[in-house]
Chains A and B, each alone.
Chain A
C-alpha cells in the first residue's frame, strides 16, 4: 500500500456574502495516496471545486475563508504556512488542471513559453536545461513532435492537444499531487478515453497522486481507485471504486447512479431525484439530503448523521446505515 500523501481533515470553507454565509465545504475529510487517484464526485455547487481551491489556498478573498480543519501534505499542515511559503508549493508540489483549456492557456504566448515559465519559476534552471524540461514534459503527455509544438500558439492546436498542453504545464515541475477539475468534461468521448489512458500511464511513470474532480461516474470507474461522493458541502460516502459500484450505501449515491443512463442497460425508466440541491446559505437542520431522499426517516430531519465505517475503507454518513 502506498503511503498517504494528502490528508484533509474536517475542512470547512465558508463564503461571506451580503446575503449570508454560504457553507460551501462543511467538514470534509479524505486522503489521497501516492500513485493513486482519488475521485471527488458530485454535481454543481456541491463544493468539489471549492475543496480543490482550499487545498491550493486560492479562494477569492475576502469572501472565501477557510474556517476550520487541516490540510496535511506529507506531514505539513498547509493551512499553517505563510502565504509566501504556500506559493512555493503551487505548481511545484501541487498542480491543478482546469476544465477549459482555452482559458487556461494564454493566447499570446507559445506553448513552450508557458511550460518554460513554470519550469523557470520553480526550478531555476538555465536556458538549455529549461528547453530539455519543456520537451520532456511534452513527451510525457505524448504530444507528437514536441520541438515543433512548443513553438505553436494555443489557437493552432486542437482541443485535445490543448488539454494535453495544459497537462504538460501542470506536470512540468514533477508535482507530487495533481488536482484535475473536470478536465474531460468538454472533451469528446473518444478523446476522453485517450486522455484517461494517458493519465493512468503518467501516474504509473511518475507516481503522482491525483485528485480527480468530476460528475461523471463513467470517468470515475475508468480512472479512480477510490471515490468520495459529495453533496451540499459534505462527503456523504467514501469507498473504493469497486465497492461504490457494487454496493453503494448512501441513498444519494444509489439515486445518482440510477438516474444516469447506462449504455449497457436497456432503457428502463430512469429514476429521477425529485427537487433540487439545497441552497448552501440556509441549510435545513438534519441531513442535507433529507428533502429529496426516497427513504428518509424522522431522525434524518432532526440531526445530521455522523460518519460510520461500515467496512474496511468504506465510510457513509446516513442514519439508515449502521
Chain B
C-alpha cells in the first residue's frame, strides 16, 4: 500500500468577478475545477500545464496561501479543514518547504543569507538564536555552498547559487513536502542540471516528497515519479511518469510531447510530423462546454463538446479524461 503523504480531492477554486457599485457577482474565473491527486512519501508529483492551467493556484492552496472554494486536502490522512489555526501552525506548516521560480526576487535583498535561511526557524520554532545560528552552516553545506556564504547578501551570488540558498531555506524545518514552482526555468541551461541533481539527491537522502510545478516536459520527466497534465483547471491525464510519456493517451498530452521533442531535420525527412495546435488556451472565465480541450483538439467528435469526460483509470493508476481514449 502506497504511503500517501498528501492527497488533494476535488480541489476547486473559483474567483468571483464583481461589477458595479454594489459589487454584484457577474461571473467566475474557474482557476481550478475539481482536481484530485496523491503525493507519496519520498516521491515527486509534477503538475504540468501551460499558463492559465491552474497549477500555481493548486500549489498555493497546498501552501495555505489560497482558500479553496471546495474540495479537501488530506495531510497524512487527516483532513486539513479540521485543523485549528494553531494546529496548522504547529502541525502542518513546519512540515512544508517552498522554492519559488525567480531566485532574484524570492529573497529579501536587505537580509543576509544567514537570516534568510534561518527565518523559517525563527518564525516557527522556539529555538534560541544560538541553536538557529548553528543550523545555518549545515544547511548551506547540504546544498553545496560553504558556511562562509552566510554573511553575504543575495545580490552577491549567481542565479544558480541563489536557488541553492532558496533550497537551503526550504529545508530549514526538515520538511516532509517541498513545493517547487518552476525551480529551474529561470536559470541558465548548464546550471539547471546542477540544481535538478541537487534536488534529486536531497530527495533520496531525506525521503522528501516534492510537488513540482513545471511546464517543461523534459524537466518533468527527469524529476518526477507521477505526473498530472492540467488544462484550464482540470486534469486531462494522470499517471506514472514513465507510463505517461511512453504511452500518452490524451490528445493534449500528445500535443505537448510533440511540441517538446527535439525533432531534427532528419526526423522531418522521415515524415515525423509535429502536432501543431490551433488557437490558444481559452480564458478560464468562459471555459468551453464539455471537454475543455475540445476546441483545439485534433481528434474531437461532437459529443466532446457536450459532456465533460470523467477521469477514468485505464489500468495501473494511469488515468485519462477523454472520450476517445
Complex: A in contact with B (CB within 8 Å): yes
* Shortest beta-carbon distance from B241 to chain A in Å: 8
State whether B264 touches A221 (Cβ < 8 A). yes
**A197, CB-defined interface residue at 8 Å:** yes
* Shortest beta-carbon distance from A236 to chain B in Å: 14
- What residue in chain B is nearest A216 (Cβ atoms)? B189
State whether B263 touches A272 (Cβ < 8 A). no
Q: Tell which of A190, A216, A261, A277 touches B255, judged by Cβ atoms closer than 8 Å.
A: A190
Q: Tell which of A190, A218, A256 touches B256, judged by Cβ atoms closer than 8 Å.
A: A190
* Shortest beta-carbon distance from B194 to chain A in Å: 4
- What residue in chain A is nearest B196 (Cβ atoms)? A270
**Given A189-B260, A218-B260, are A256 and B190 neighbors across the interface (CB < 8 Å)?**
yes
Q: For chain B residues 258-283, which have a beta carbon within 8 Å of chain A?
A: 258-266, 274-278, 280-281
Residue interface mask B19-45, A partner, CB < 8 A = 1? 000000000000000000000000000
Within the assembled complex, what's the spacing in Å between the Cα atoms of A277 and B276?
Answer: 36
B256 contacts across to A, CB distance below 8 A: 189-190
Q: For chain B residues 264-306, which have a beta carbon within 8 Å of chain A?
A: 264-266, 274-278, 280-281
State whether B259 touches A269 (Cβ < 8 A). no
State whether B50 touches A189 (Cβ < 8 A). yes
Q: Tell which of B189, B192, B261, B274 touches A197, judged by Cβ atoms closer than 8 Å.
A: B274
A217 contacts across to B, CB distance below 8 A: 262
State whether A189 touches B259 (Cβ < 8 A). yes
Within the assembled complex, what's the spacing in Å between the Cα atoms of A292 and B216?
Answer: 26
State whether A189 touches B188 (Cβ < 8 A). no
* Shortest beta-carbon distance from B257 to chain A in Å: 6
- What residue in chain B is nearest A256 (Cβ atoms)? B190
State whether A272 touches B217 (Cβ < 8 A). no
- What residue in chain B is nearest A258 (Cβ atoms)? B193
Q: With contacts A260-B189, A263-B245 known, what are 7 further pairs, Cβ within 8 A? A: A43-B188, A191-B50, A215-B188, A221-B265, A261-B222, A272-B194, A273-B193
Interface residues of A (CB under 8 A from B): 43-44, 158-161, 188-194, 197, 215-218, 221-222, 241-242, 245, 255-256, 259-264, 266-267, 269-273, 276-277
